Structure 1
Amino acid sequence: MPKIVDPVERRRAVVDAVFRVVARRGVAQVTLRDVAAEAGLAIGSVRHYFDSHHELIVAAAREMVDRVEARVLARRDRLSPGDDPMRVVEEVLDEFLPMDAARADEIAVWLEFVVAARTDPELRPISIELHQGLRTVTGRLLARLGVDDPIETERLAALVDGLSLAGALHPTRLDPTTIRTVIRHHLAGLKT
């Protein structure tokens, strides 16, 4: 009797393999053969779900956005109205920062996709969505602290972007404790 394959799970396994290959080697170095080997599949199995390398990369970028959004929404759903606003802001921002190995890898992949989006018109809308999504979240978080200022929203988003980049590139210099300290210092300096 042939094995029944769940197509959703198989696509997810392939996308996870893309993330691992991109994190190690970059978008430009990803091949269908590498992804198939990483996923433990035959290349034909990968081609069954994705017609081309480019389709695979775009699907992986879209999946990354969806996963970050799901994680942020799950964090939001665990919050109560009476929670300390500063703690809420810090915890939600943690979802965008390299606070553990999984998020550090995700940020490395994000960086690869953002750089590729500079010249790839199909990735550009995903990059813009990520950029704008972070600004939407930071604006809402600042509103929880009584700050309604588009410049402060942009400043906090830029700080998160910068900490993500530096944390991904220099994880031993910018560890999670230092990242949290920088965020706390910034938030404490806001005028509400």
Structure 2
Amino acid sequence: MPRTVDHGERRSTILEAFVRVAAREGLASLTLRSVAAEAGISLRLVQYYFETKAGLMQAGLGLLERESNRRWERRIAKLPQSPTAHLTLRALFEEALPTDETSRDFHLLWMSFAILAQTDPEISDRPFLDGPNRIGQRIAAILDQGKSDGEIHPQVDVEAEAVIFLGMLNGFATAVLVGQMTADAAMVSFIHQINRLSAT
């Protein structure tokens, strides 16, 4: 019997190869041929699934965002049952910092995509708006729950603080990535900000 092709698995193989090549060589140097070679498949197969470099890059961007969300969910799942706002925010921040090869590759590619989306009409800029907006809403919900639990001061404006925390996530991640500050220094500053909102 002919072998059944798992198209989802094949797409995943190509996208994972795309991420490796993009992180190693940069988006500008990446070609469909280099991704095909990395994945160990033919150029024609890459073209069958993604047609163009822009199509492959857009799909790769979606993969990055999904993987980021999965990493955050795994980090949150490791917390004690009914974690405090402090613990939850700290876990989110720790996951956001580029402290290993995987997270560094993610930030490098995310920044590269963000820049490219400003000049390339074939690359949607929606992920760079919708993704951070969802994170900001999640932070606001965590802070709001902290207020309800008596952990966060009742006069704290959760929407305004969520914007501040989101800015810290993005800014500190970049600072750690380029070596302007260490992950430990970033964490100290972040914890200071969380403690400032404490009800006690």
Q: Please state which band the TM-score falls in when normalised by the shorter chain.
A: 0.7 to 0.9
Q: Helix, strand or coil for the counterpart of 2:96?
A: coil
Q: Which residue of 1 aligns with 2:100?
A: 100
Gapped regions of structure 1 (runs ≥ 5): none
Structure 2 equivalent of residue 155 of structure 1? 164
Q: Tell me what 1:24 maps to.
A: 24
Could you tell me the percent identity over the aligned residues?
26
TM-score (norm 2): 0.82
Is contact 1:113-1:123 (8 Å) kept?
no
Specify the code of the residue in structure 1 equivalent to 2:43: I
Number of residue-to-residue matches in the alignment: 190
CA change 1:104–1:143 in 2 (3 A) is farther
CA distance in 1, matches of 2:19, 2:85: 33
Q: CA RMSD in A?
A: 2.3
Taking structure 1 as the reference length, what is the TM-score of the superposition?
A: 0.85
Does 1:177 find its partner at 2:177? no
Distance, in Å, in 2 between the alignment partners of 1:62 and 1:177 is 30
Q: Which residue of 2 aligns with 1:123?
A: 124
Matching residue's letter, 1:176: A
Match of residue 135 from structure 2: 134
Task: Quote the Cα distance in structure 1 between the aligned partners of 2:130 and 2:82.
Answer: 31
Specify the code of the residue in structure 1 equivalent to 2:86. M
Which segment is superposed worse, 141-150 or 176-185?
A: 141-150
**Would the alpha carbon gap of residues 134 and 84 (structure 1) be closer, same or farther in structure 2, given more than 3 Å must change?**
closer
CA contact (8 A) 2:76 2:91 kept: no
Distance (Å, rounded) in 1 between the aligned partners of 2:141 and 2:93: 11
- Separation of aligned partners in 2, 1:163 and 1:20: 24
Whole-angstrom distance in 2 between the partners of 1:89 and 1:144: 12
Deviates further, 179-188 or 45-54? 179-188
Distance 2:162 2:109 in 1: 24
| Bigger radius of gyration | 2
Which residues of structure 2 form unaligned runs of 5+?
148-155
Checking the alignment, whether the CA contact within 8 Å between 1:36 and 1:42 is kept in structure 2 is yes
